Amino acid sequence: MSKQVLERVGATIAVVPHFPKDGIMFRDISGLLASPQEREEAFDLLYQAAKDKQIDAVAGMDARGFIFGLAVAERLKKPFIMIRKPSKLPNSIALSYELEYGSNTLEIQKEATQGKNVWIVDDLLATGGTALAACQLVEMAGGKVAGTSFLVELDGLPGRSKLEAKGYSVHTVLNYDVDSTTVVPK
């Protein structure tokens, strides 16, 4: 994709200072989701990262990862696996983890990924807590992580290094400095 496409997609993502708590620069994808052309371009950019990989299924995290992960799964013609917040899936296993402004728990259905190479998709990579928990859940459910992709990466936070240290490949479309409102297309 061209630099112009990356710039158009990046222009739809607003930065909201001090949300959900003081000191956080929240990246709001509402504008992207409301812009059909840029939304489709974003989906295509995420698909490009996965299209030539050995993938049996795509997983996404509750809730924004559902949007982007399902779009990638549709383009790949592969099953989609939900990684959800607590008490939303029957017959599930759970994992609690820390993130940049608190803690959380994710769940996946037992054996959902059994014997599958799974590509994990989410909207944002920051400290890596959610993404790492998703990778671990895929493995706990019997699968192998084929790679990860994110629409936005916050440079200056340890998300990428945390995932790569565990051997997971990381692909991102747009990069922001953690304290900046400026997007840096890759």
User: Can you give the pLDDT at residue 93?
Assistant: 97
**Is 164 assigned a catalytic role?**
no
Per residue in 6-55, pLDDT (tens digit) is: 999 999 999 998 888 888 889 999 999 999 999 999 999 999 999 999 99
User: Can you give the pLDDT at residue 104?
Assistant: 92
Q: How far apart are alpha carbons 32 and 24 in whole angstroms?
A: 20
Tokens of 69: 């992960």
Mean pLDDT of 133-160: 97
Residue with tokens 């994808």, as numbered in its chain: 29
Per residue in 90-99, pLDDT (tens digit) is: 999 999 997 7
> What is the pTM for the complete model shown?
0.94
CATH 3.40.50.2020 fits 3-185, yes or no: yes
**Is 64 assigned a catalytic role?**
yes
Domain segments of the chain as ranges:
3-185
Per residue in 97-122, pLDDT (tens digit) is: 977 667 899 999 999 999 999 999 99
Q: How far apart are alpha carbons 44 and 126 in whole angstroms?
A: 22
| Under 8 Å between Cβ of 117 and 143 | yes
Catalytic residue among 39, 64, 111, 164: 64
Distant-in-sequence, close-in-space partners of 63: CB < 8 Å, separation ≥ 6: none
Q: Please state, rounded to an integer, the average pLDDT across all residues of the chain.
A: 93
Q: How far apart are alpha carbons 170 and 93 in whole angstroms?
A: 25
pLDDT band at residue 1, thresholds of 50, 70 and 90?
low
- Indicate the residue type of 20: P
Catalytic residue among 27, 100, 139, 164: 100
Residue 159 has pLDDT above 80, yes or no: yes
pLDDT band at residue 185, thresholds of 50, 70 and 90?
low
